[in-house]
Amino acid sequence: MIINAAGLWQKETSLPTIATFSRSLDNVLGNNGIQLGSITEVLGLSGTGKTQLCLQLCASVQVPKSLGGLEAEALYIDTNTNFNLNRFKEILLASLEKCHNILKITKSVNIEDALRKLHYVRTSGLEKFCSLMYTLPKFIEERPNVRIIAIDSIIDPFKEGITLQRRTGLLFRLMADLQRIAVSRQIAIVLMNQMSTRIGLSTGAVVGALGDGWAHRCNIRLLLSAPRNVDAERVAALLKSNSSPETVGRFRICQDGIRDIL
């Protein structure tokens, strides 16, 4: 079906987003958060806040519709045992209580009901990960209220026991499947990725793992870094986006989750 640019613009700008709870970070992403129907890659060294952002997004998807949220569910795919339930409960409770305070709701948050809206699966190794990806469309069909799929991290299943040629083929097939799910089901897919060293003629450069070909498959690439001597502060740099210019913003990681710098 051929449509004009006005119709395309209306369609793209009408897609809901998942807020990060940091206005600065939302502005960097350019869509007031993570947009549904897109694939976002979050890069960074260990300790830069990738998993913390992942947990925050899985909590943010439950924001009430009266505040512009989705009141939806999340799927967290854990490939490297980074998930911590107590930390997620902490972020989830703080996020929902903040929403209740804005709405002036005196009723306390039912944390048990809220936890049921996060679906968690741990996959170790390439075989189990690929098996999960094969059954993912059926899972989404049975749970139509899932609006975010977070994979933490995408590199771990492909680290060992696989040739470069086979890895490339599997990754591109995986991305094609994820793009179909993102667009057809209006789901935000967020992939955590690690950094690796690319050896050049004279020096090495720290780049995102999985190579340049992979980089072109994501709609958005976000690089996180941690300034020295500032424990809670983080820097987010937008490396690629099909809707926003490259920009940089700052946010902090606190007990409540992702927030703006005071």
Which domains does the chain show, CATH number per domain?
33-193+203-224 (3.40.50.300)
Residue 184, pLDDT score: 94
**By CB neighbour count within 10 A (0-12 exposed, 13-18 middle, 19+ buried), where does 204 fall?**
exposed
Residue 162, pLDDT score: 84
Residue 152, pLDDT score: 94
Residue 201, pLDDT score: 46
Each residue's pLDDT tens digit in the chain (262 positions)? 787 776 666 666 667 899 999 999 999 998 789 999 999 999 999 999 999 999 999 999 999 999 999 999 999 999 988 899 999 999 999 999 999 999 998 888 999 999 999 999 999 889 999 999 999 999 999 999 999 999 999 999 988 778 888 888 888 899 999 999 999 999 999 999 988 765 554 444 567 778 767 777 889 999 999 988 777 899 999 999 988 888 999 999 999 999 999 8
Of 122, 186, 156, the closest CA to residue 50 belongs to 156
**By CB neighbour count within 10 A (0-12 exposed, 13-18 middle, 19+ buried), where does 91 fall?**
buried
Strand partners, 233: 252
Residue 215, pLDDT score: 72
CA distances from 161 to 59, 147, 157, 192 (A): 34, 33, 9, 21
Do 74 and 146 form a contact (C-beta atoms < 8 A)?
Answer: yes
The token duo for 158 is: 């492909």
The token duo for 239 is: 């490396």
Q: What is the DSSP letter of 117?
A: T
Cis peptide, bond prior to residue 196, ω within 30 of zero: no
Residue 165, pLDDT score: 86
